[in-house]
Amino acid sequence: MGNSLVGKSILTLEELTKSQIIELVALAIDMKKNPKKYQESLSGKILAMIFEKASTRTRMSFEAGIVQLGGHAIVMNAADSQIGRGEPIKDTANVMSGYVDGIMIRTFEDSKVKELAAEASIPVINGLTDDHHPCQVLADLMTIYEHHGKFEGIKLAYIGDGNNMAHSLMIGGAIVGMDVSVASPVGFQPKAEYVTIAQQLAQKSGAKIESLIDPKIAVKQADFVYTDVWTSMGWEEENNKRLAAFGEAYQVNDQLVSAAQENFKFLHCLPAHRGEEVTGAIIDGSHSVVYQEAENRLHAQKALMFQVMQ
């Protein structure tokens, strides 16, 4: 494996090239198959983990991952730290840079992660922000590669809220050459700036990136059908409005997926609300690979930490 990512912050997938993503996926798969081979690869390294949003998979996968690589994690909830009491990000970044070897942050505003990375002298990893979820999509790409061994000629349909998942899936797909069709109701579509970025990246890779309204068109002949909760963290006050806007039309159910490939796989970043964005028959059925996908968070993030924290 090359070391082109050493010391680099990963805030969005735009910072990665196609070859770097493929290297990360290959490394993650090898780590999954041969964990003992890497068990001392980050010996003595310390990862600081800052949480301003609730977490299950992100916390467990990063904390387990750094330990499995021989390192340690320091977990900080923002409310229990000085950053939660208004300490300038500049001060937090510079102080942490003297204590640890990397920072993972799960927060709201992308501007906060950008400032943290700009001020820190150690790599910063975006564990989730309002606009991006790069670590989840690295795990998704790993899962897709495990099933097909390629990205070109593969189509992923994302049905639902045009949120951070939609943005990162479009950008990630565009980089590696995978077609991504996103279908969202009017008023809940992906931000235009990220659609434009993804479509520009797709010009180089040959991928087709679409932001649509009709989920039936988006899912046509899809190899993977993906959805997420309709109300992400931070938008709870819009829950009733969102339930009304999405309705049955945007639910991933047997009728909708009948237009996908016969052997399609179902993806969801979890947590899921069965009966809302997806039926139990789909997420718990034979096409679902959501637990494989969730496990791959561990392996993809181990690969990412290995590359940036060496």
Q: Where in the chain is the domain with CATH 3.40.50.1370?
A: 13-132+297-309, 137-293
**Residue type at 211 in one-letter notation:** S
For 63-86, the DSSP string reads: HHHHHHTT-EEEEEEGGGSGGGGT
20 assigned to active site = no
How many residues can be counted in the chain? 310
pLDDT digits (tens, 9 = 90+) for 36-54: 999 999 999 999 999 998 8
Phi, psi at residue 204, to the nearest 5°? -80, -40
**What pLDDT is attached to residue 246?**
95
- In the set 140, 179, 269, 299, the catalytic residue is 269
For residue 86, is it left (φ>0), alpha (ψ between -120 and 50) or beta? Answer: left
| Nearest Cα residue to 122 out of 282, 250, 305 | 305
Q: Using an 8 Å Cβ cutoff, are 169 and 49 in contact?
A: no
269 assigned to active site = yes
Q: In whole angstroms, how far apart are CA 10 and each of 15, 152, 257, 271?
A: 6, 24, 34, 24
**What pLDDT is attached to residue 80?**
76
pLDDT digits (tens, 9 = 90+) for 242-253: 999 999 999 999
161 assigned to active site = no
- In the set 131, 228, 299, 301, the catalytic residue is 228
In the three-class reduction of DSSP (H, G, I as helix; E, B as strand; rest coil), residue 121 is classed as coil
46 - beta bridge partners?
72
**What pLDDT is attached to residue 2?**
53
- In the set 297, 299, 301, 307, the catalytic residue is 297
**What pLDDT is attached to residue 1?**
46
**What pLDDT is attached to residue 48?**
97
CATH architecture, range 137-293: 3-Layer(aba) Sandwich (3.40)
CA–CA separation, 100 and 116 (whole Å): 14
**What pLDDT is attached to residue 146?**
98
For 194-225, the DSSP string reads: HHHHHHHHHHHHT--EEEES-HHHHTTT-SEE
> Which stretches in the chain have pLDDT values below 50?
1
> Which tokens belong to 32?
């999954």
- In the set 57, 68, 101, 133, the catalytic residue is 133
106 assigned to active site = yes
133 assigned to active site = yes
274 assigned to active site = no
- Cβ atoms < 10 Å from Cβ of 191: 15
- In the set 106, 242, 287, 299, the catalytic residue is 106
What does pTM read for this prediction?
Answer: 0.96
Q: Which fold has domain 13-132+297-309?
A: Rossmann fold (3.40.50)
Q: Buried b / exposed e across 193-210, counting CB within 10 Å, b at 16+?
A: ebbebbbebbeebebebb
